[in-house]
A and B are shown apart, each in its own frame.
Chain A
Amino acid sequence: MPRTSLFLERKSYRMRRIMDAIRFMPFVCAALWMVVPLMWSGGQGAHAATPLSAALWYIFGIWALAVMVSFALWWRIRSGDVDAAVSAADTSA
């Protein structure tokens, strides 16, 4: 039945995009954690520095977000076969 196959197609397509997102995650986090803080500290002396509380909010905020996004992505793929889903993408990646 065409409807069924369309549904399955969609599902595996979604699965692959989630795998893409999982692969993409570390790069986003690395950029936010490693690159952005370096751009804050512009001036010299204690006054030009970012307040530590702001830095805490930023680092831990991203941390919490990363955990939540990773959890959400895992929740979507938890029952699927990751290998099967990415085998096609593997060759192109």
Chain B
Amino acid sequence: MVSLNQLIGVCLVYVAGLFLVAFLAERAAIRGRGDWLLRSPLVYTLSLSIYCTAWTFYGAVGYAARSGMEFVTIYLGPSLVMIGWWWVLRRLVRIGRSQRVTSVADLISARYGKSNVLAIMITIMAVIGVTPYIALQLQSVTLSLSIFASPDPDAGGAALNNAHAAFWVAGGLALFTVLFGTRNLNANERHHGVVIAVAVEAVVKLFALLAVGAFVVWGIAGGLNETLARIDASSIGGWQAQGGRWSALIFLSAAAFLCLPRMFQVLVVENDDERHLQIASWAFPLYLMLMSLFVVPIAVTGLDLMPAGSNPDLYVLSIPLSQGHNGLAMFAFLGGFSSATSMVIVATLALSTMMSNHIVMPVWLKLRGGGAQQSGDVRGVIIRARRLSILLIISLGYLYYRASGGSGALAAIGLISFGGVAQFLPALLGGIFWRGATRMGAIWGLGIGFMLWMFTMLLPSFGPGAALSQGVFDHGLLGLGVLRPQALFGIDGIDPTVHAIWWSLSLNTFAFAVVSFFTFPHPLERLQGAQFVNVFDHSSGPAHGWTVAASGAEDLMIMSQRILGATEARAFFERHARWQGATGGLPRPTPAFVQALERELAGSVGAATANAMIGQIIGGQALSVEDLMAVADESAQIHEYSSQLEAKSRELTETAQELGHANQKLTQLSLQKDSFLSQISHELRTPMTSIRSFSQILRDTDALTGTEKTRFASIIHTETIRLTRLLDDLLDLSVMENGEVSLNSKPVNLRAVIDQAVMTSRAGSSNVITVHRTPEAEEIVLFTDGDRLAQVFINLVTNAIKYCDAAKPELTIAVRRDDDVIVVAFTDNGSGIPADGEGIVFEKFARLCNEDVDGAGLGLAICREILTRLGGEIRYVSHVGGATFEVRLATSAEAETSASLLSV
């Protein structure tokens, strides 16, 4: 038999070893060495093993001895979560890293608009939920001690001993946690000492359980097959899964794995590489499998060997002891001790962070009034708050242990604790997957779920007459039959655990969803929601802005120094100043800088507190419309971009079309110029030929009558005139184009000009055309060059006579006023100008269709030049049934003194 003193001696050596390991790890981390181990996936995976507490170490065997295979559910849930890491954990870890989350309360409060109310709620709920769990660890350690203390585990007289033992264990754990858990303030950094100690303990407890298991299978039963036969023959040998319980417990353990503050601490907060998660996705299920591999054999052997009435929770210890294997028993004891201590250390650490960040700090800030800007070292306050919280939580656990008197099966207390923290699940998952989840929804869901958990699970666990009277159990709260704690709504006969889990979680989820449907989140909440849900798009960092114009960098510096410590704060500010390109001095408080600072502070004091502190200095944060738009509707940006692209491409198409038109026009003009050159050569050549031949005749032929001579000379003369006219036209155009024309402007009557034009045109032509006019509209006196204007009109009338192809050609000359423009429209009833000619009709040398009509194609070009000089313009208006040329004259050309002039 091992003496109690021996055992305590071994324990002390073991604990001293742990202190040494933690100390060495911290030292190595400070010196920047040992990263290969401290930051390895192996240590990460092993640190997850704090899931396996003394409850699972001792309690699983007891659980198996009582209800067979059901114990395995609490391992299957976490295994499922780890195997499905891609769905939830990957997202949680990414959010934890990008938002510098310090705890599960911090994550939920940050998601719902950095709400302090939520953070406080969750902290209190976590403390209430986890305290029994800590008491459970103390109980298991003292129970296991007691089995060594007396030869007969059931003998009394160990109670006093137990209380003392529990006190010393609690004290030792508190000391360890304070020493290694509050060394660095930044809860976001890894606690290397703690993590490495936890990893060592993980190995110890695994090997302890495997050793006992191997001893039982090969040492007692005599082999695998014998063990299996023994299992089937035992009282728990036939397995019938209770459907509801089986599924509900797997679900509950999976939920608790995600929500337990200590699990969140090691899974998310202490994670420093996402790839470690991928490795843990198979390594941790493997660990859990090994942990539970020998549970059933140990339980069955215990049922066989141990006297009836002995505590099955302690089979792991009592079997080796009863077989006289003291060394093995001591190893098993160390395993259980490891499980208990590592759980208490990490759970306390996680809870103390939550308490100091979400309860102590806000209260302190509020009490200090002016808050963050006042002098005084906040660092000291936070560290003290955290240490006090650690002591408080461990004493709460100890008090609970004393109050509950160490009663109850281990597994039952564990499940109650799981049920409590599982209430976080709807708000947690809703927060990271559903942007519509609101703060009010989370508060209502958590509140209702927690109340139901208290009423249906926690309070009834003390037994009738303790917290709830027998009357409440039988007749419901306030005598209402629907409010019986183990048969809500009058539905009886459900297993109490399943009943509590089902009603609390389902109504929790229901309230969370329904309140979220009907409430409207404030901007910060929506922003955070978008960031959390779309974490893989936004992992660069938070996008909301501070309006920082009013704040000085000095204020921020003073505050940061007190939270981060002078050296770190200065380093942080200098780093940012360098990034901003400033040499020395403080960085400008740009929104980006303030955001970075907020996140840095959030790593120490939590998101809500950091937000509040910066808010105090900066004076309220503003969400700009752009911020909201950027987050609320990412698709709008994409849409905008694509429509920009569309507009650009349309613009390009239009430009290309214009260029094409211009090119076409140029080509056409060039062709026309060529054809005109040949035309003009022809025009010049024809008269030249006749002049040459007739002058030759006159020169060489002597026998010419006087009549003949006269006739030939006349022909030569006519041809010369034709040549001259052509040359005149060209000259005229060229002069006008060069702007060398001189205008002889004077008041003229429009009707007189049109009269002259019509008469002149008709006189020179054999074609008959009917001209329609409205003389009264033409009574306008213009101050212009009448001869030039007449030239334009003559050209237009002549063109109508020449080109109108109607059987009975008609020309309508209409005069009207368009605002301040006088429009003279010449419309014929011919077929008009072909569409492809419209663009070039006013160009020089443009000759459309009728090749047989003489003319050099200069007329309209000359018209256009004249009108440009006169301050007007000429247009071709295409319409069905004829061609219309509009001469538009500015009314400024209209003589102001028209009336007086006419009367003269």
Contacts and interface: CB of A to CB of B under 8 A. Distances in A.
Nearest to B84: A26
Interface string A43-63: 000111111111110011001
Interface stretch (B17-25, B237-245, B679-687, B702-710): B237-245
Contacts of B72: 59
Contact of B237 (A22, A41, A51, A70): A51
Given A33-B250, A37-B246, A40-B241, A52 B86 contact: no
A50 B285 contact: no
A60 B240 contact: no
A13 interface: no
A52 B239 contact: yes
Interface string B411-438: 0000000000000000000000000000
Nearest to A46: B238
Interface string B58-74: 00000000001100100
Contact of B282 (A26, A74, A83): A74
A51 B239 contact: yes
A23 B87 contact: yes
A30 interface: yes
Contacts of A26: 80-81, 83-84, 87
Contact of A67 (B87, B228, B246, B286): B286
B232 A52 contact: yes
B238 A49 contact: yes
Given A47-B238, A49-B240, A25 B296 contact: no
Nearest to A27: B84
Contacts of A27: 84
Contacts of B243: 38
Contacts of B286: 67
A64 B72 CA distance: 14
B247 interface: yes
A3 interface: no
Given A23-B87, A37-B241, A83-B536, A63 B279 contact: no
A7 B611 CA distance: 50
A53 B275 CA distance: 37
B83 A66 contact: yes
Interface in B207-261: 228-229, 231-232, 234, 236-241, 243, 246-247, 250
Nearest to B293: A60
A50 B239 contact: yes
A52 B286 CA distance: 21
B79 interface: yes
Interface in B177-234: 228-229, 231-232, 234
A19 B86 contact: yes
B86 A22 contact: yes
Given A33-B76, A33-B80, A63 B289 contact: yes
Nearest to A90: B536
Contact of B83 (A29, A49, A90): A29
Interface string B700-721: 0000000000000000000000
A51 B68 CA distance: 11
B83 A70 contact: yes
Interface centre among B84, B243, B296 (most CB of A within 10 A): B84
Given A23-B87, A66-B83, A77-B278, A52 B69 contact: yes
B79 A29 contact: yes
A55 B239 contact: yes
B278 A34 contact: no
Contacts of B247: 34, 38
A34 B79 contact: no
Interface in A51-93: 51-56, 59-60, 63-64, 66-68, 70-71, 74, 77-78, 82-83, 87, 90
Contacts of A29: 79-80, 83-84
Contacts of B85: 22
Contacts of A68: 282
Interface string A1-37: 0000000000000000001001101110110011001
Given A22-B86, A41-B240, A53-B228, A67 B278 contact: no
Contacts of A41: 239-241
B281 interface: yes
A70 B94 CA distance: 21
Contacts of A23: 84, 86-87
Contacts of B240: 40-41, 48-50
Interface of A is mostly: helix
A86 B85 CA distance: 14
Contacts of B80: 26, 29-30, 33
Nearest to B243: A38
B548 to A, nearest CB: 32
A55 B86 CA distance: 29
Nearest to B227: A53
B214 to A, nearest CB: 16
Nearest to A57: B228
Contacts of B84: 23, 25-27, 29
Given A25-B83, A41-B240, A60 B232 contact: no
Nearest to B274: A82
A23 B85 CA distance: 8
Contact of B231 (A30, A52, A87): A52
A54 to B, nearest CB: 8
B282 A71 contact: yes
B236 A52 contact: yes
A83 B536 CA distance: 8
Contacts of A66: 79, 83, 285
Interface string B25-43: 0000000000000000000
B282 A70 contact: yes
B241 A51 contact: no
Contacts of B275: 78
Contacts of A46: 237-238
A41 B247 CA distance: 14
Given A38-B243, A70-B281, A59 B69 contact: yes
Nearest to A30: B80
A30 B228 CA distance: 26
Nearest to A59: B72
A22 to B, nearest CB: 5
A26 B257 CA distance: 15
A74 B279 contact: yes
Given A38-B243, A59-B72, A53 B83 contact: no
Interface in B632-675: none
A40 to B, nearest CB: 7
Contacts of B281: 22, 70, 74
A46 B234 CA distance: 11
A83 B539 CA distance: 12
B69 A70 contact: no
A52 B282 contact: no
A68 B69 CA distance: 23
A73 B889 CA distance: 86
Contacts of B69: 52, 55-56, 59
A54 B240 CA distance: 12
Contacts of B79: 29, 63, 66
B232 A38 contact: no
B748 to A, nearest CB: 77
Contact of B278 (A56, A64, A82, A87): A82
Contacts of A71: 282
Q: Nearest 8 pairs between A and B by C-beta?
A: A26-B84, A49-B238, A70-B282, A41-B240, A53-B228, A71-B282, A49-B240, A46-B238
17 contacts: A23-B84, A34-B76, A34-B250, A38-B247, A41-B239, A48-B240, A49-B238, A53-B231, A56-B69, A56-B228, A59-B69, A59-B72, A59-B76, A63-B79, A67-B285, A70-B281, A70-B285
Given A67-B285, A82-B278, 7 more contacts: A52-B68, A52-B237, A56-B296, A66-B285, A67-B286, A74-B279, A78-B275
Interface of B: 68-69, 72, 76, 79-81, 83-87, 228-229, 231-232, 234, 236-241, 243, 246-247, 250, 275, 278-279, 281-282, 285-286, 289, 293, 296, 536
